[in-house]
Structure 1
Amino acid sequence: MKELILPAPAKLNRLLHITGRRSDGYHELQTLFQFLDHGDTLRFRRRDDGIVNLESTLDTVAQNDNLVVRAARLLQVDIDCRLGVDIHLDKRLPLGGGLGGGSSDAATTLLALNHLWNLGLSPDRLAALGLRLGADVPVFVYGHAAWAEGIGERLTPVELDTPWFVVLHPGIEVATPQVFGAPQLTRNTPPISMARALQEGPEAWRNDCEATVRRLYPRVDEAFEWLSAFAPPLLTGTGACLFCSLQHESDAQRLLEQVRDDWHAFKARGCNVSPLHQALSLM
């Protein structure tokens, strides 16, 4: 196998509770991850000289800082691999949007190179490597909707409803450290069980970051108020993206047609199995 083209799907946090703050500064979370059938696309071509080269439609992140390059080089070092790769990243997901774009790109890279370099590494091994790149990477490696705890790395697969979503990005980037460092952030939500969260259902789900993000970023607050006229919105991650669920694709399309020109929005279907893993299963 010399070349692969694979998706790097977006994720939504359909629920996000912050239950405490650890001594190392990280926060204890409870969240529900679900994938979308929308995201970035990566093309991989194997090299035999050990060089990792990235071409990207995103030019605001230095190559050495990009999680795609970091994932490839981490894998090389971990297994002492002498192979290399040319990677082309077609970037569609916004930076600082809460959709997990960088983490998803990193996970797709790990899984793609596992195939392209014929490594035969287990998902657990790849997820452990991914966790060194970011707390959200393992859920993309495993590729199933999940209830997550800890910093988001302790995962239990779940089956969620799969409505159509409209995702709205108000044209700004939210700085996650600023949100988690805000004094007013809710950090003491009582933990609940996964069973209770699933029993309560989407009508009861919320994001503990929402009030803080809306206060710090007026454009997010403005978009939230606008979207509320159509369906109950939620923040994903620490934002800036908001989403709402709709029963039919036609409903999502009608909402899209009303979005302001200075905002970006798209419609997508929720997925319990990642589009990346659906693609890999056909190989």
Structure 2
Amino acid sequence: MQEDTLNSADQQSSRDSAPLSLPAPAKLNLMLHIVGRRADGYHLLETLFQFLDYADTLHFSPRNDGQIILHSAIEGVAHDDNLIVRAARLLQAQSKTKLGADIWLDKKLPVGGGIGGGSSNAATTLVGLNYLWRTQQSLDSLAELGLSLGADVPVFVMGRAAFAQGIGEKLQPVDLPEPWYLVAVPPVSISTAKIFSDQCLTRDTPVTNIRTVLKQGGHNDCQAVVEMRYREVRNALILLNKYVDARLTGTGSCIFGGFPNEQQAVNIATQISESLPSFVAQGANISMLHRALQNLIEN
């Protein structure tokens, strides 16, 4: 692990003067079917991704000594194991750049919430440092790099709402309605690995296609296992289902429901606030990351 020699005041000043700041947005799995399992143990999925206008923020400053230093620690995650650091080093190796980076993370997305915090952080690091270092990697190349970090990373790199198959890497862009979502955050962090290794998990949902999903919707095969294992999520679903059709995203713990406008979502969030923390955000077919990057390029 690299030693951080900056004191807190210097860190704040350095972060605030970083030349590049980009969002790492949340995502929702609007449905998640598990249709099989590969010989290597990876699950075969069908899922519908949509982004939220709700995000962590990453700040990047280049270094000339090749070091990658993440100045924002995450409890329980060693510096060199953090997906942000691993993503930066992958891009270094792929592009053969001699540059490094100081990186700061403003954490907003809940850990273990199923809304893509770690994967989104990794994707923003790949896209952001590709821009900052001028390494000129294509999005397809960055997505391929990202896949080695996690199955959700490619969709964040590509930045488009998508129907995903395979282990999450086969992406078909889709145009979806962009409702307002109330996302409730039960007080528990869930390990994706534990859910996918549960013997009770359904792994043989029939294969479908994008047209059927867009017409008929789908369900989340992980939800029954999560409800069985985590009463906090089960109780949250019971509460939110009183107001809206509530579903689990990914392997949880976050649950969500859609509304036609922001005010309706805020009203329900207020009603459940004493029992269940939540946030309200609009769905987005183009991610905040790519909108911010396009704005940088145009200006």
The TM-score normalised by the length of structure 2 is 0.91
1:100 aligns with 2:116: yes
RMSD of Structure 2 on Structure 1 (CA): 1.2
Alignment of 1:1-283 (within 5 A): 3-56=19-72, 58-200=74-216, 204-261=217-274, 263-283=276-296
Give the match's secondary structure for 2:71: strand
Distance 1:190 1:250, change over 3 A: same
Deviation at 1:78, TM superposition (A): 1.8
Question: 2:193 and 2:135 mapped to 1: Cα distance?
Answer: 35
Contact 1:171–1:262 (Cα < 8 Å) also in 2: no
- What percentage of aligned pairs have identical amino acids? 51
Deviation at 1:260, TM superposition (A): 4.0
Deviation at 1:63, TM superposition (A): 1.1
Task: Read off the aligned partner of 1:123 and give its amino acid letter.
Answer: L
Question: 2:120 and 2:221 mapped to 1: Cα distance?
Answer: 23
Contact 1:10–1:93 (Cα < 8 Å) also in 2: yes
Deviation at 1:262, TM superposition (A): 5.9
- Once the two structures are superposed, what CA deviation does each residue of 1:55-109 show, in whole Å capped at 9, x if it has no partner? 2263332211110011001111222211011111001111111001101000100
The TM-score normalised by the length of structure 1 is 0.96
Give the match's secondary structure for 1:257: helix
Bigger shift: residues 143-152 or 17-26: 17-26
Deviation at 1:191, TM superposition (A): 0.6
Structure 2 unmatched ranges of 5 or more: 1-17
Deviation at 1:32, TM superposition (A): 0.2
Q: After TM superposition, which residue ranges in structure 1, 4 or more long, deviate above 6 angstroms?
A: none
Contact 1:10–1:39 (Cα < 8 Å) also in 2: yes
Question: 1:128 and 1:22 mapped to 2: Cα distance?
Answer: 19
Task: Read off the aligned partner of 1:5 and give its amino acid letter.
Answer: S
Give the match's secondary structure for 1:33: strand
Deviation at 1:24, TM superposition (A): 1.1
- Once the two structures are superposed, what CA deviation does each residue of 1:150-208 show, in whole Å capped at 9, x if it has no partner? 011100000111100011111101111221111111111101111111112xxx43111
- Once the two structures are superposed, what CA deviation does each residue of 1:199-240 show, in whole Å capped at 9, x if it has no partner? 12xxx4311111111001111100000000010011000000
Structure 1 unmatched ranges of 5 or more: none
Question: 2:24 and 2:254 mapped to 1: Cα distance?
Answer: 17
Contact 2:248–2:255 (Cα < 8 Å) also in 1: yes
Deviation at 1:266, TM superposition (A): 0.3
Size of the alignment, in residue pairs?
279
Task: Read off the aligned partner of 1:167 and give its amino acid letter.
Answer: V
Question: 2:286 and 2:273 mapped to 1: Cα distance?
Answer: 32
Question: 2:171 and 2:123 mapped to 1: Cα distance?
Answer: 15
